[in-house]
Amino acid sequence: MTEQLGPAELPRAAALLRQGALVAFPTETVYGLGGDATNAEAVAGIFAAKGRPHFNPLICHYPSAEAAFADVRADDRARRLAERFWPGALTLVLPRAAGCRVELLAGAGLDTLAVRVPANPLARALLAEVGRPVAAPSANRSGQVSPTTAQHVLDGLGGRIAAVLDGGPCEVGVESTVLDLTGNEADGAAVLLRPGGVPVEAIEALLGPIGRALPVAAAAATQSLRSPGLLLSHYAPGLPVRLGATSLGRDEALLAFGPPLKGAAVAWNLSERGDLREAAARLFAGLRWLDAEGTRQGCRGIAVMPVPETGLGAAINDRLARAAAPRG
């Protein structure tokens, strides 16, 4: 039985984490499935609960930049980014420090670690109370739609984890941007591994031009991913997803953006006014609802209207491309 805890029960959630149990908690991006990153059994439990491939690393969460930088080697770029974007929806991949407390399993055995400081005050209070790094991928079964409410967590992981700390709906609604800073600082090498809640343009305004990771399929083929969120078929509902829809089939549910296509019996609009922030916050809830309601009404797929590739649109399109990827 999974406990549903309110904000006042934060000490209970922290105690469970310190005991090695799994607790889902809200961040500004999505709900994370937390486990003590210094406890190998707890980390293994995260993989087991999610059914997650073990070559896909986890992000470790901290209450402050100082706490995060105790476990990694932070250069000047990392400190500048942390000063500008932390707390916030940015994950930095950095070399592990010599005294790193985090179990290797949390980083998939790599010599690097993905770290971030979430902006959600309840999340930071929980992390401070735990007093240890908390590994926390999205709190859903691997490959399924990420959760933005406590009920989403319970729908997917109820009975598989100890508790969920309910902090209400997530504000941003897509995962963090992931930036690899393991390249040579003198060369200015920074590589975007995953677009997300912090727009790439904002990062480049601070660092200058940054590189892009391998195509997702190529990265997955190496089975040595540098970051979470690089698997090709990810964030996938049960119904097939068709991107770039300008017309609607008779048996398709509709994921709209802006003025919707006509004729949809089952539809969810990310943002009628074309607001990318609103669209990001509504994305995963919309995919979940369309999958359930579309299936109930006999739909055979989900048609997705185009979303601009600017700002948060890049993160939205990244998630949609993974949802539409071939299953196998």
> Across residues 168-186, what is the average pLDDT?
88
Give residue 115's pLDDT: 98
Question: Rounded to an integer, what distance in angstroms lies between the CA atom of residue 234 and that of residue 142?
Answer: 7
Residue 320 makes CB contacts below 8 A (sequence gap 6+) with 241, 243, 283, 304, 307
Find out whether 327 and 233 touch, Cβ atoms under 8 Å.
yes
Residue 128 has which token pair? Answer: 């401070």
Question: Rounded to an integer, what distance in angstroms lies between the CA atom of residue 115 and that of residue 193?
Answer: 13
Indicate whether 209 pLDDT > 70. yes
Closest CA to 224 of 180, 189, 184, 266: 180
Q: Which stretch of 42-56, 115-129, 205-219, 274-288 has the lowest confidence by average pLDDT?
A: 205-219
Mean pLDDT score of the chain: 90
What ranges make up the beta strands (E) of the chain?
3-5, 23-26, 31-36, 59-61, 90-95, 112-116, 134-135, 163-165, 177-180, 191-194, 211-212, 241-242, 252-256, 267-269, 301-304
Give residue 215's pLDDT: 47
Q: How far is CA 244 from CA 113, 252, 291, 305, 307, in A?
A: 35, 13, 18, 5, 8
Question: Rounded to an integer, what distance in angstroms lies between the CA atom of residue 287 and that of residue 254?
Answer: 10
Find out whether 194 and 25 touch, Cβ atoms under 8 Å.
no
> Across residues 293-299, what is the average pLDDT?
97
Give residue 216's pLDDT: 42
Give residue 28's pLDDT: 96
Indicate whether 188 pLDDT > 90. no
Find out whether 133 and 60 touch, Cβ atoms under 8 Å.
yes
Kindly report the pTM of this predicted structure: 0.82
Q: How far is CA 289 from CA 73, 142, 282, in A?
A: 42, 18, 10
- Residue 29 or 189, more confident: 29
Residue 139 makes CB contacts below 8 A (sequence gap 6+) with 24, 30, 31, 32, 33, 146, 147, 152, 153, 156, 157, 161, 164
Residue 245 amino acid letter: A
Q: How confident is the model at residue 47 (pLDDT cuts 50, 70, 90)?
A: confident
- Residue 125 or 43, more confident: 125
Give residue 107's pLDDT: 87
User: Domains, the chain, ranges and CATH?
Assistant: 3-222 (3.90.870.10), 241-324 (no CATH)
Compute CA 155 distance to the chain's CA centroid, rounded to the nearest angstrom: 17
For 220-273, the pLDDT digits (tens) are 443 445 566 555 555 578 999 999 999 999 899 999 999 999 999 999 999 999
- Sheet containing 177-180: order of strands: 3-5, 163-165, 23-26, 31-36, 134-135, 59-61, 112-116, 90-95, 177-180, 191-194, 211-212
- Residue 225 or 178, more confident: 178
Question: Rounded to an integer, what distance in angstroms lies between the CA atom of residue 59 and that of residue 133?
Answer: 10
Pairing verdict, β 252-256 and 301-304: parallel
